[in-house]
Amino acid sequence: MPYVRPDVQNLLGMMAAQPGPPLSALTPQEGRAMMSGMTQMLERPRGEIAASDLTIPGDIKARLYTPANAEAAGPVLVYFHGGGWVIGDLDTHDPLCAEIARLLAMRVLSVDYRMAPEAAFPAAIDDCMAATRWAASSPAELGGAVTGVIPAGDSAGGNLAAAVTNALHGHLPVPILAQWLIYPVTDMTAAGGSMAEFADGYVLTADAMAWFIGLYMAGSEDQMHSPAASPLFAGTLAGLPPTLVNTCGLDPLRDQGRAYAARLIDHGVRVSYHEAAGQIHGCFTMRQAIPSAHDDLLACAADLKLLLQGT
């Protein structure tokens, strides 16, 4: 049996005792309501921070977090939420983005990109690239000059952050200083390994991943191996900025996060890799129910700071 942290085991036991329908049996709207409800039960409160909602050109909704000790002119972390490109929103990731802003003493721009099935691949990537370009242009709405950007995201958002970094590195008015990929999707075709080992019983299931990918890639199944969909298959990753990759030991996506980190290293990219043993996918938005996940977040923020010091 794999190692499971005590607080993770407690949550898994509670969920097993009160089972609901699998995500793959729900409509996207029901899935969104389920994730919203789970976040309210499992995540910490946001806490005090200056936050404002805004609209990026192209009618892209976003939320800006500005901690009191952020530099007036400095970098901005552009965050893309998880949820399989189908569920999740600014509110489900509100406490996490606020905490990241506080930990890094940095502005964080959380992006509410279009989601499937209403807007399938590559709409989400288009929105995330537009938001990153906008942030890099130092718009007045961000309250001060932007000296660099850091694409970041969890799960599907990690997939989008990797795709944005691959596409825009070297093509913005300011540098991409680093990227932060939190239990990311990097291979749409992944099977076997951790995808099979943790296919069921650890919150994110293999069936749920198939449901997400089916909705997101509908009509674009021939693009599953493209770098925009599966960053692991990019022809080269050489020259990319320093990268922080986080994985969880009990995650179906673990192996593709490991593989992406290894490929970055093979291509000469400076990588900081953090795997949370005994931890499950989505833990950074379950920190009330899984207190140890907050410790992992603290460690990852410290890792990112060290990466940025070397840029």
Decide: 195 and 206 in contact? Cβ < 8 Å.
yes
Instruction: Tell me, yes or no, if 251 is annotated catalytic.
Output: yes
- Torsion, Cα of 6, 7, 12, 18 (10° steps): 120
* Token pair recorded at residue 2: 């794999």
Query: 110, 155, 194, 230: which one is catalytic?
Result: 155
- What does residue 124 show for φ and ψ, rounded to 5 degrees? -60, -45
Decide: 164 and 128 in contact? Cβ < 8 Å.
yes
Instruction: Tell which residue, 166, 151, 148, 187, has the closest CA to residue 79.
Output: 151
Query: 112, 154, 187, 251: which one is catalytic?
Result: 251
Query: 112, 230, 255, 281: which one is catalytic?
Result: 281
Pairing of strands 179-182, 146-154: parallel
Annotated active-site positions, please?
Answer: 155, 251, 281
